[in-house]
Structure 1
Amino acid sequence: MKLKCLFVCASVISCSLLGGVVSFTFKAEPQKPRVCVIGAGIAGLTSAHYLKEEGLNFTVLEATQYVGGTWRYDPRVGTDEFGQPIHTSMYKHLRTNLPKQAMELSGFPIPKEYPSFPSWKLFYEYLKSYAKHFQLEEHIKFSHLVESVKRVENAWKVKHKNVKTGEQFEEVCDFIFVATGHHSKPNMPNIPGEELFKGTIIHSHDFREPDSYKGRRVMIVGSGPSGMDIGLDVADVSKTLFHSTHSKVTFRTPFPDNFIKKPDVKRFTENGAYFSDGSFEELDDVIYCTGFQYSYPFLDESSGLTFAPRYVIPLYHYMVNINQPTMIMMGMVVRACLVAAIDAQARYATALAKGNFSLPSKEKMLAEWQTRADLVKSRGRPMSDIHLLAEREDEYYAAIAKESGTSRVPPVLFKMRTLDTAAKLDNLYTYRNYVYNVIDENTFTRCYQDPRESRSCTP
């Protein structure tokens, strides 16, 4: 008896028996897509976790020697020992501005003994424990700086180098997860007369501790989370803290006597600044808390994205590159429970790479994006608001979970963030004294813990 076999495309074997046909087919497993993840901060770590869990082929490229991204405190500013920019913006006294439940990564509970609003140090330890628990570091190439990502013949060519040795490498990937964040390139306001001012001017990116401002006249520019947090930190030691802002947000915080509100800066002089109301103040130091720019120098026109200092477009669901949908821009959302949002995006991106669902047509994705863009324009707002979730946060979590078939961020987190925001407006000194406890996916309790008392907190 002779068996004759025909091999077809190395993936199908068809056999026939002389004197009668017996056929059977073996199909090889389809080749798994290769994913390149850029960055080993929260977005990179969560992506690595889910990609590993789903058995996908991936590599994480991290420019530094560490995991954790901006959550790692580094007392240095400027450049590191390899001449690379210090990317972290962490400062010494930072505590989270959201309850710990909103900072928790799926499947890895934050230790119960952590306070409701942990310090950066505790949260960074948590991130390192997450990487160790899921054995993620074996998939990370540390000290590998990505220099170029290009779309070539239906694939992504990623060029990177070892910053220690200078050795060059190239990866070819099917998917790119850009997980570098957008909190490392300072957005500088460029106020007239800066070159005349003889005091110091830094951006919050380079702020580390308040002690150097003891007894000095300091001006904070900007009233975002870092502006308010750093302002109160410096006000504890400075002679005077001038806070320049045009924000219409009303804080009911009982600010100390040395905390003086000022309007926009009009121009600098050698020893101070004039403001838009015509007033003048003598200054020793200035800290710009004016946010960060979106910066992705390794991407070029082949990405299909349009880059501006304060926005990146067009993105479907705030993350999928509509023109090249195998590129995912992680963590681009603003005014949200960012850690939970990134975790959810990592689940969505992994499901997409695995082929668990298909994206809508390009036309439908553009229509979704255009609806958001039109809303921004109709409100007379800058295009940077295209990244804003705000009141649409919970709706967003529901939409991406339904489309991708992944687990949903529970609604309770959005409810907690809403109440936490109100607490910030009431008193920036005391909002972290609240203790939050999650009851279920929709319900939580909150009580106030006076730090001066040892007894349990009260509703």
Structure 2
Amino acid sequence: MACPYAKDDKRICIIGAGPAGVSAMYHFAQMANFPEMVCYDKQGRWGGMWNYTWRTGTDKYGEPCFNAMYKRLQINSPKEVLEFPDYSYREHFGRRVPSYLYRGEMLDYMEGRWTDNSRCDLRQFIRFGTAVRHVAFDDESGNFKVTVNDLEKGSYHEETFTHVIVAVGLYNHPCLPEFPGIDSFEGRVLHARDFRDDFEFRNQKVLVIGNAMSGQDIAFHIMKGGGQKVYLGYKNVPSPYKWPETIVEKGPISCFNRRRVQFADGSSDEIDSVVFCTGYNSIYPFMENRLRITCKSTLYLKDVYKGCLYMPQGDNRLFYVGAVRGLVGLSLIDCLAAWTARYINEQTLEKQVSEDEMRAYVDKWMTKAMGIREHADIVTYQCELMADLAKSSGYGMQYTLSLPLFLEWIKHRNDDAWTYRDHQFTSMYTGD
């Protein structure tokens, strides 16, 4: 089904057809009329990082392979806190399903919303196999010049847009800290982005560097796949979780010497592989320097109004959707995408907001985020942010009802990080 374009001069560039980019298209398409939009994605299908591939390093075009999903991956928060208010799991699956879905099931659910619940076929707006090479803002015309590369044809061309939505996510450029002697290590070294199958580490002693969500999950996968032992090295503080005997938190790492790793507590052991679960750097190399977010991704970003509108340059027509970190994931992304679409289509409360008011808003949320470390405080903060976005855009207030479920999930993880996925939650919308 074709969608009705609004008869105005807006033309929207959306970079990335993952959850953030497609959610923005979805919310545009739900409006009676909306601007022309074009979405670019290097992959051959939508879904972004939720697509699994056996490839690591580079794809078939020689482009960096950003897919970080691995076999048998389950979501690490219950699906009930990620349920779309306008498209339930019951509606999609036709039955009650477990709270902790596998990657493919979660992607299938998102695709169901994007297709079955959309007013039109969103794929018509996506140019697959196309990389955005450069985005610049023309001060004279007030428009963005976007250079794109058709990867199949090898051709380049430039297009003009009035607005740009950067929706490439956070998990693109691995952070790999240096350790003394790591270059002499005789085993395998990889980043979590290239982790694909836990069976590769059967009968091995593995050092996982980083004890946040990805480090914990990969440690469990290695042991479930037949690993001998996992050491969790961390930089700052130990996790609050109870671990099985085969997973040992060891704290800071001093150095490597061939097969042996030395820890700051004086202990050491020989290991077979090292997996860096040390996060990602938020880098946007295709953006003109003055249009880039340069600060480290945190709960709230400097110079970004409502968590997505980039204030320093671009005449309030440049948006970064999904650039903030946190625990509420897809829910916050959906709220940010909805606010962005409505703001561009002049359907939010912020029709006339001064720069001083915008900066006061940013300062308020950055101040609130300072010092937040505990998971319960993070989800509370981000539920408050979603409520603020929903109040302005008229969409997403239901998401804030998930706070009690988040807090219960955190308690389950703290009680037993090995078995927390055995719990079942109830949908806020259908009661399943």
TM over 0.5: yes
- Kept after mapping to 1: 8 A contact 2:85/2:396: no
Instruction: Indicate if the aligned counterparts of 1:393 and 1:414 stay in contact, CA closer than 8 A.
Output: no
Shift in CA distance, 90/115, structure 1 to aligned 2, threshold 3 Å = same
Comparing 184-193 with 331-340, greater Cα deviation is found at: 331-340
User: Matched residues in 2 for 1:322 and 1:380: separation?
Assistant: 24
- CA 423–249 in structure 1, closer or farther in 2 if over 3 Å, else same: farther
Letter of the aligned partner of 2:354 in structure 1? Answer: S
Segment of structure 1 superposing worse, 193-202 or 359-368? 359-368
Find 1:344's aligned residue among 335, 345, 356.
Answer: 335
Number of the residue aligned with 1:41: 18
Aligned mates of 1:65, 1:432 — CA distance in 2: 32
Q: Which residue of 1 aligns with 2:152?
A: 164
1:421 aligns with 2:400: no
Runs of 5+ in structure 1 lacking a partner?
A: 1-28, 446-459
Task: Look at both structures and tell me which one has the larger radius of gyration over its CA atoms.
Answer: 1
1:175 aligns with 2:163: yes
In the alignment, structure 2 segments of 5+ residues that lack a partner are 1-5
Identical residues among aligned pairs (%): 23
**For residue 3 of structure 2, what is the aligned residue in structure 1?**
none
> CA 1:334–1:414 in structure 2 vs 1: closer, same or farther (change >3 Å)?
farther
Query: Residue 149 of structure 1 contacts residue 299 of structure 1 at CA under 8 Å; is this kept in 2?
Result: yes
Q: Distance in 2 between matches of 1:266 and 1:254?
A: 23
Distance 1:355-1:438 versus aligned 2 partners, 3 A rule: same
Q: Residue in 2 aligned with 1:143?
A: 129
Tell me how far 1:140 sits from its aligned partner. Answer: 0.6
Cα deviation, 1:313-337, whole Å, max 9, x if unaligned, reads 3211221112232111111232232
1:202 alignment counterpart:
190
- Tell me, yes or no, if structure 1 residue 81 matches structure 2 residue 60: yes
Q: State the SS of the aligned residue for 2:424.
A: strand
Answering whether residue 71 of structure 2 is matched by residue 92 of structure 1, we say yes
Note the C-alpha offset of 1:82: 0.9
- 1:54-453 maps to which residues of 2 (within 5 A)? 54=31, 55-56=33-34, 57-110=36-89, 111=93, 112-133=95-116, 134=118, 135-152=121-138, 153-236=141-224, 237-255=226-244, 257-303=245-291, 305-308=292-295, 310=297, 313-323=302-312, 324=314, 325-357=316-348, 358=351, 360-374=353-367, 379=371, 389-439=378-428
The alignment partner of 1:117 has SS state of coil
TM-score by length of 1: 0.83
After superposition, the CA RMSD in angstroms is 2.3
Alpha-carbon distance in 2 for matches of 1:168, 1:287: 37
Q: How many residues align?
A: 407
- Pairwise CA distance, 1:374: 4.3
Q: Is the contact made by 1:217 and 1:238 (CA closer than 8 Å) also made in structure 2?
A: yes
Work out the CA distance in 1 between the residues paired with 2:135 and 2:7: 26
Q: Offset at 1:310? A: 4.3
Deviation, structure 1 residue 93:
1.9
Q: SS of 1:435's equivalent?
A: coil
Aligned partner of residue 416 in structure 1, secondary structure: helix
CA distance in 2, matches of 1:359, 1:59: 27
Residue deviations 1:74-133 (CA, integer Å, cap 9, x gap)? 111011111111111001121111221222234222223432110001112223333332
- How far apart are residue 373 of structure 1 and its match? 3.7
